[in-house]
Copies of this chain bind each other. A is one copy, B any other.
Amino acid sequence: MNTIVMKFGGTSVAGTEKIRNIADIVIKEVKNNKIIVVLSAMAGETNKLQSFLDDFASQYSLESDLVLTSGEQVTIGLLSAQLKNKDIKSIPLLGWQIPIITDDNHEKAKILHIDNKRIEKFFEKNDVIVLAGFQGISLDGEITSLGRGGSDTTAVAIASSVGAERCDIYTDVDGVYTTDPNIDLNAKKIPKMSYEEMLEMASTGSKVLHTRSVELAMKNNLTLQVLSSLTKETGTFIVDEKELIEKEIVSGVSYSKNEAKVTISGILDKPGISAKIFSLMTENNINVDMIVQNISQDGISANITFTISQKDFDLTKSVIEQNRNSLNYKSLSLDKNVAKISVIGMGMMSQAGVAEKMFKTLAKNEINILAISTSEIKISVLIEEKHTNIAVKSLHEAYNL
């Protein structure tokens, strides 16, 4: 008998009606499979608990994890009760009861080990295990959390651990789209894509799955399906690239408005100055994405432009200003009104002209490119935020998506 892992996020468990709906979805699969259901807390609950913690300005991550992991305890109990109401043999389990052993990095713990024998033992008397996502236990016996979105990681980790046939991630969208349907009505659901494409999608703004969960699925070659808990349609399968017989040159266009652009002007163009800037960023845990360096018009000083996450805006500004003397620059400007647009596709690796088409399409629409970064399966450009919609739509059309 196969094992299937089914994960339901916060909006899918928000309220008793939705939990009834999940029970119905689980019951359809239970005849032919052993089922592990992984649940998040009810949507809104984690925010409520976080606001309590904020009231105390709590910087104590042991306490934060304890408070935040109480939400899943409620949803797993309720779903298990409803499954029993429907005569399904079910057991609700917390992270420490499996146990899901993690390191002791509270609020962003990594899973170290899952004891399979215990899972087998629970399946001796039960057809469904309802497992609390997001949480684990450290070797010291403290409750840990995997960080926001960590339930995806729980689901993939347990699926990998038991060798599940697949891991279905139920969300409020019915799959991964070629671009955001809110921007472009022509956006289409992608039936099948590679882990690499999904990772690029996630890192460029399509927050369908927790990045760590995709990396873990890729490492374990576990098939993921992203689908909706409200429709009965097949979702998007995320698989090894070898299983993609016909690779699309470009499979999707994504965008992110969470970027900020930093420009440091009039720095002396001598070796080591870039290294100095970026080691400052690293020291302060500021993630730098795109980097462009130009000689300025006077021919002796240089300008450096790079992008950061908007949340690091204030920190970046103060770090650079505090080091004004050693960096010896003329001016600093930061700008939040930028967007990153990315085209992603496994086919790019073997196809020339993908970047050219991107730049031409943007030029035709009179959109200026502020910075560029590329990977084997992705090209990202930074543009002014106001051009986001027209950029996404025109690129989506240009690549025939």
Q: Are B53 and A78 in contact (CB under 8 A)?
A: yes
- Which of A57-65, A215-223, A321-329 lies at the interface with chain B? A57-65
Q: Is A357 positioned at the interface, with any CB of B under 8 Å from its CB?
A: no
What 0/1 pattern do residues 44 to 70 of A give for CB contact below 8 A with B? 000001001101111010111011011
Q: Is A116 positioned at the interface, with any CB of B under 8 Å from its CB?
A: no
Known contacts A69-B73, A92-B66, A97-B141; decide if A16 and B78 are in contact (CB<8 Å).
Answer: no
- Which of A79-87, A237-245, A348-356 lies at the interface with chain B? A79-87
Q: Is A347 positioned at the interface, with any CB of B under 8 Å from its CB?
A: no
- Looking at A73, A94, A141, the one whose CB has the most chain B CB atoms below 10 A away is A73
The CA-CA distance from A62 to B19 in the complex, in Å, is: 18
Known contacts A63-B84, A84-B63; decide if A56 and B69 are in contact (CB<8 Å).
Answer: no
A222 CB → nearest B CB, Å: 28
Q: Are B73 and A67 in contact (CB under 8 A)?
A: yes
Q: Are B63 and A16 in contact (CB under 8 A)?
A: no
The CA-CA distance from A56 to B52 in the complex, in Å, is: 28
Q: Are B92 and A52 in contact (CB under 8 A)?
A: no
Which chain B residues border A159 with CB–CB below 8 Å? Answer: none
Within 8 A of B (CB), among A224-259: none
Which chain B residues border A91 with CB–CB below 8 Å? Answer: 62
Known contacts A63-B92, A141-B97; decide if A56 and B82 are in contact (CB<8 Å).
Answer: yes
Q: Are A84 and B60 in contact (CB under 8 A)?
A: yes
Within 8 A of B (CB), among A176-223: none
Q: Is A74 positioned at the interface, with any CB of B under 8 Å from its CB?
A: yes
Choose from B60, B70, B80, B97 the contact partner of A80 (Cβ within 8 Å).
B60
CB-based nearest B residue for A67: B77
Count of this chain's copies in the oligomeric assembly: 2
The CA-CA distance from A66 to B132 in the complex, in Å, is: 11
Known contacts A58-B81, A60-B80; decide if A70 and B70 are in contact (CB<8 Å).
Answer: yes
A166 CB → nearest B CB, Å: 27
The CA-CA distance from A73 to B67 in the complex, in Å, is: 6
Choose from B62, B63, B85 the contact partner of A56 (Cβ within 8 Å).
B85
Known contacts A70-B73, A73-B69; decide if A52 and B16 are in contact (CB<8 Å).
Answer: yes
Known contacts A16-B55, A56-B16; decide if A77 and B82 are in contact (CB<8 Å).
Answer: no
The 8 closest A-B pairs by CB, nearest first: A67-B77, A58-B81, A66-B77, A16-B55, A70-B73, A63-B81, A70-B70, A63-B77
Some 23 contacts from A to B, beta carbons below 8 A apart, are: A16-B52, A16-B55, A20-B56, A53-B77, A56-B78, A56-B81, A56-B85, A58-B82, A58-B85, A60-B84, A62-B80, A62-B91, A62-B92, A63-B78, A63-B84, A63-B92, A64-B77, A66-B76, A67-B73, A67-B77, A70-B73, A70-B74, A94-B143
Q: Other than the known A52-B78, A70-B71, A70-B74, what 16 A-B pairs have Cβ atoms closer than 8 Å?
A: A16-B52, A16-B55, A19-B56, A56-B81, A58-B81, A58-B82, A58-B84, A58-B85, A60-B80, A63-B80, A66-B76, A67-B73, A67-B74, A67-B78, A70-B70, A97-B141
